[in-house]
Amino acid sequence: MSSWGNAVKISLFGESHGEAIGVVIDGLPAGESIDREQIRLQMGRRAPGKDRTSTPRTEKDIPEILSGMLGDRTTGAPLCAVIRNTNTRSQDYGNLMSHPRPGHADYTGFIRYHGFNDIRGGGHFSGRLTAPLVFAGAVCRQILERKGIKIAAHISSVGSMEDARFDSVSIPAKLMDRLSTVSFGLIDQGREEAMRTLIEECRMEQDSIGGTIECAITGMPAGAGSPMFGGIENVISSIMFGIPAIKGIEFGSGFAGAGYRGSQNNDAFYYDGDTVKTRTNHHGGILGGISSGMPILFRVAVKPTPSISRQQETVDLQEHTDTVLTVQGRHDPCIVVRAVPVVEAAAALAVINLLAEVSE
């Protein structure tokens, strides 16, 4: 299903080479002022074509808002935004799936939809569907920002090359603001050139590379989330795996913490004035599924772009034989960079739903 959420629901639609992609957001509070420039900024961070060139993004992906807003304010009715596809090729109706691309959903989609799915450009499985997700997140994060909640992510690694990590107990607002607006988000900006070089090398080798994204949520009040299946980890992971290429998630000390002793991993409580804080934040701001008031921290694993220009083994689903395939076209050698704002957007949707439950 391409729908997600409870208090604030999103319903994503569209296929890579269909007429349009878009989203309906149902359950937004009424009267919220939404700055369209902020939306454009977020969508620009995700848009393709910035990588080596630093040219301004092509302006094609401007969403049209069809409903749910009057002037610059939400009406409380469902907000629908549509982004037209410009690369529609109606002559491709043949839809002959023969050679599924390794690492893509071509084969599984073929089975799931009995061969009727739109395979052009990945169809509904395309990373392009993250554009309306970024749109929805850009709307929600403006509402959250007014509640003092900030969301920012950065490229925590590309291959084995790592960025610095967030200071888990104290993250400057200035850093949050910078990361949530830039296109190549690093805490240690000094590593950008080396990372770009590594990515460029992969491209030259007709290869791609994976990485990780670390995301922080600051300003989250203590007491949000519910035990068991309504926990913050459950809610965040249930939307985060909707982003193509994400294959892992960890909160706080996560997998590293699984190697720790309890005496090392437990976070001591103390009073900072009237506020209960923890001296360390291995719990990633979440205990028993509920926010502690410390920064919420999680990290996702992004697999290397499966589209590579090298010849690969695959099958011919029509002929039932083994064969080879060379994927054509120009592809992002490292999807991690553009996935950063998508992770933030998905986090914004998770947070706005978690907060709605608290007020109940």
Q: Which 10-39 residues touch its own copies, going by CB under 8 A?
A: 11-15, 18-22, 24, 26-27, 29-31
Q: Is 263 exposed, middle or buried (0-12, 13-18, 19+ CB in 10 A)?
A: exposed
Can you give the C-alpha Rg of the chain in angstroms? 21
Determine if 7 is a binding residue for its own copies (CB under 8 A).
yes
Crossing angle of helices 336-358 and 36-46, rounded to 10°: 140
For its own copies, the binding residues in 167-196 under the rule CB under 8 A are none
Compute how many residues bind its own copies; rule: CB under 8 A: 153
CB 28 within 8 A of CB 139: yes
Determine if 57 is a binding residue for its own copies (CB under 8 A).
no
Determine if 226 is a binding residue for its own copies (CB under 8 A).
yes
Stretch that binds its own copies, among 34-42, 135-143, 163-171, 199-207 (CB under 8 A): 199-207
Determine if 82 is a binding residue for its own copies (CB under 8 A).
yes
Q: Which one among 121, 137, 306, 341 touches its own copies, defined by CB under 8 A?
A: 306
Determine if 222 is a binding residue for its own copies (CB under 8 A).
yes
Whichever of 54 and 359 has its CB closer to its own copies, that residue is: 359
Strand partners, 24: 11, 80
Q: Which one among 71, 174, 328, 329 touches its own copies, defined by CB under 8 A?
A: 71
Helix, coil or strand: residue 139: helix
- From the centroid of its chain, how far is CA 28? 20
CB 68 within 8 A of CB 74: yes
Q: What count of other Cβ atoms lies within 10 Å of the Cβ of residue 12?
A: 21
For its own copies, the binding residues in 270-299 under the rule CB under 8 A are 270-271, 274, 276, 278-279, 282-284, 286-293
Q: Which one among 63, 211, 295, 341 touches its own copies, defined by CB under 8 A?
A: 211
Crossing angle of helices 336-358 and 232-240, rounded to 10°: 140
Q: Which one among 87, 108, 197, 326 touches its own copies, defined by CB under 8 A?
A: 108
Q: Report the alpha-carbon distance of residue 247 to residue 229 in Å, rounded.
A: 20
Report the nearest approach of its own copies to the CB of residue 353 (Å): 10
Determine if 264 is a binding residue for its own copies (CB under 8 A).
yes
Q: Which one among 55, 174, 259, 329 touches its own copies, defined by CB under 8 A?
A: 259
For its own copies, the binding residues in 113-152 under the rule CB under 8 A are 113-118, 123-125, 129
Report the nearest approach of its own copies to the CB of residue 127 (Å): 11
Strand partners, 152: 216
Cα first-last separation, the chain: 26
